[in-house]
Amino acid sequence: MSLSHVLLGLLSDQPRTGYELERVMRAELDSIWRAEYSQIYPDLARLRRSGFVFLRVLGPRRGPRRNVYRITAAGRRELRRWVAGRLEAPAAEKDPTLARLAFLDALDPLERMEILLAEERRLSDRITRLRTASPARGFRREARRGTVEKLEATRRWVRSLGQQTARSASTPPKKK
């Protein structure tokens, strides 16, 4: 269960509210991990029951009352266990983009080129957005660099597929 650990990781910086956690995840961990409030709030409650965080209710600075969560010593221990990789299931990785393109045979060659170009644009957009996003610190910054490099690898791959496709479309399609 990575979400709980990601939350612990973010709380190890400083205490935060559920709302802030969502914002930081979106800002600093995009394409690595994110979650909806509907997952964050119950998860914080669970972390609290496990004694990994504790809650302090503050009067509102702005808006409603603020439930500020703070990590405990046990929480830090748990975080370290996770980071050290001594827990953690294999966590089946999935890639919707690669999954879709794996079935590109389903389209006729003319359409393929179009899809590949669209995909390349989409990847470029994501890369630019990541690069221009608000900077993070320490290993969180490095992790974002890792994401960018992954996306660039995928973009190179898409591009090479596009070139192959273009070649096979221009040469007379010799029926095999």
Partner DNA sequence: CGAGACTATATCTATGTTGATATAGTCCTC
Partner DNA sequence: GAGGACTATATCAACATAGATATAGTCTCG
12 binds, among DNA, a copy of itself, none (CB under 5 to 8 A by kind): a copy of itself
DSSP the chain: -HHHHHHHHHHTTS-B-HHHHHHHHHHHSTTT----HHHHHHHHHHHHHTTSEEEEEE--SSSS-EEEEEE-HHHHHHHHHHHTTSS--------HHHHHHTTGGGS-HHHHHHHHHHHHHHHHHHHHHHHHSPP--HHHHHHHHHHHHHHHHHHHHHHHHHHHHHHHHHS-----
Instruction: Tell me, residue by residue from 115 to 134, as one string, x for binding to a copy of itself by CB under 8 A and - for no binding.
Output: x--xx---------------
- Kindly state whether residue 94 participates in binding a copy of itself, applying the rule CB under 8 A: yes
Instruction: Choose which of 47, 68, 71, 161 interacts with DNA (CB under 7 A).
Output: 68
- Kindly state whether residue 5 participates in binding a copy of itself, applying the rule CB under 8 A: yes
- Kindly state whether residue 92 participates in binding a copy of itself, applying the rule CB under 8 A: yes
Q: Which is nearer to a copy of itself, 50 or 149 (CB)?
A: 149
- Kindly state whether residue 85 participates in binding a copy of itself, applying the rule CB under 8 A: yes
Binding residues vs a copy of itself (CB under 8 A): 2, 5-6, 9, 12, 29, 31-34, 76, 79-80, 82-85, 88, 91-96, 98-107, 111, 115, 118-119, 138-140, 142-143, 145-147, 149-150, 152-154, 156-158, 161
